[in-house]
Chains A and B, each alone.
Chain A
Amino acid sequence: MPALSRLKKLRKPLKKLRLRKKREKTLLEAYQNRLIESLKELRIPLLLLHFSLSVGTIGYMILSGGNFIDSIYMTVITIGTIGFGEIAKGSETPMGRIFTTFLSLMGIGVFTTSVTVVVRVFLVGDLVNLVKYIRMLSSIEKLRDHVIICGYNRTSAWLIEPLKKRKLEFVVIDHREEAIKYIQMHNIKYFIPEEPYKKTALTSAGIERARYLIANMESEAENIAVIVTARLLRPNKEDLLIYSTAPTDGSAKKLEELGANKVIVPDKLVANRVFSYMLHETRGFVSDLFDRIAYGEEAELEIVELKVREGSPIVGKFLKDLDLRKTYGVTVIGIRKEGGALELTISGDTKIEDGDTLLILGKPVSVKKAVEFYKEVLR
């Protein structure tokens, strides 16, 4: 057959085409497929119900001489155990009664079983959860500049409090049953119950549009896996800021080399903070004022770092020219120079230079306004 041999010839190029176009499914697609596949369970009960209804309707139509509406009505009231009476013509005849007897024997069982299965699939099965996940994943697709938290533990639970306060959207990824239990208990809006180091999980969490990623897994190996996968998807360190924790300085350095922007050693951080209290003894309020401002614990004040963009029009201007204090109610408290030196003795006559980073202090609303206005020249 020439047509068949021509079709066979097409196999190879088609295979190549399929291989080239093959891509990993997103979680949303995977869940949608699972939802569609779970509808398979409905097939047999629906087919049985459909069969009973069809047999009943055609049977009564033959008995009544083709009255469809009465026939389907009679079938439904018979197999639905309503039994209003012999409504369809011909159903009161001996032949009709024999037919109704067999239809009831077959149909009533089928009807109750089918209804039970359908209700079970919709209410007890995975269907409701799947619909919930699909909705959540669709909402995650709309998020921009959000935070992705990989691993849910006590640190993550502490972290989400200020995030909620600042109205920053976040997505938690964790696959451990225990973590999922706490995530549901803590009423987390967006979460993905998958391994955080999977490409699909990070893509579904919207890594392409996220601003921050927190690798907060139980083990260092898992943190490495998360950081490396995230950096493969978003290589630029300035686009996606990755923060993580490590048990020692050595591992922290390793994680930073692998792609994390900053890695915190919790024990060291606690020790430093304890020492700062010791250093200032009774003046505890002053000693941790900057910490509290930086950590966002001081609701009235906020401090931000803004880097002057290369070739920006404000380069070469004096601070008094910007007049930030009068216009926005914010103060430049320091300038970090390109080399890393911190200049704190600044005044209105301080000149802004290329590569400077301005430390701006003020009320959160004022800081936000100033940042918004200068977003073209500062970042």
Chain B
Amino acid sequence: MKLKKITTDFFLLMALSTNISFIFGPNPYELVITVIANLTATILKLGEGRILATEMTAASLVADLHLIPAAFIYFLGDVDEAVSLAIGALAVNIISILLSIIEAIFGYLSEE
């Protein structure tokens, strides 16, 4: 078990779960927590040199670019637009999780 992987995966899953719950029941706190979790996951991936790290960092950045405007748009009053942006972020977050699983499998297989 690697502490680093637990932390990164925790924030990834946290972002995914709060993202889904925000889509089904828009709530300001959930949206802010999604943004925070996503940004934390992005920072944790910075400078990572592992397999698929490039794809994961890119996916995470795309999710941030969806969620940050979503947060501002939501609090400016356009809830529908914020939800649709969050749906976009959800797609990327699912890809992030899939990449993380693939990376875990590759890591396991290439272990000595």
Which A residues are within 8 Å of any B CB, using their own CB?
7, 10-11, 14-15, 18, 33, 36-43, 46-47, 50, 54, 57-58, 61, 66-69
Contacts and interface: CB of A to CB of B under 8 A. Distances in A.
Contacts of B75: 67-69
Contact of B109 (A11, A38, A42, A68): A11
19 contacts: A10-B109, A14-B109, A18-B110, A37-B47, A38-B47, A39-B47, A42-B43, A42-B46, A43-B43, A43-B44, A46-B46, A50-B40, A54-B36, A58-B29, A61-B29, A61-B32, A67-B75, A69-B75, A69-B76
A68 B110 contact: no
A68 B28 contact: yes
B36 to A, nearest CB: 4
A61 B40 CA distance: 19
The SS class assigned to the A binding surface is: helix
A57 B32 contact: yes
The SS class assigned to the B binding surface is: helix
A66 B49 contact: no
B47 A61 contact: no
Nearest to A35: B47
A62 to B, nearest CB: 9
A42 B46 CA distance: 8
A96 B76 CA distance: 24
Contacts of A69: 72, 75-76
A50 B43 contact: yes
B77 to A, nearest CB: 11
Contacts of B43: 42-43, 46-47, 50
B45 to A, nearest CB: 9
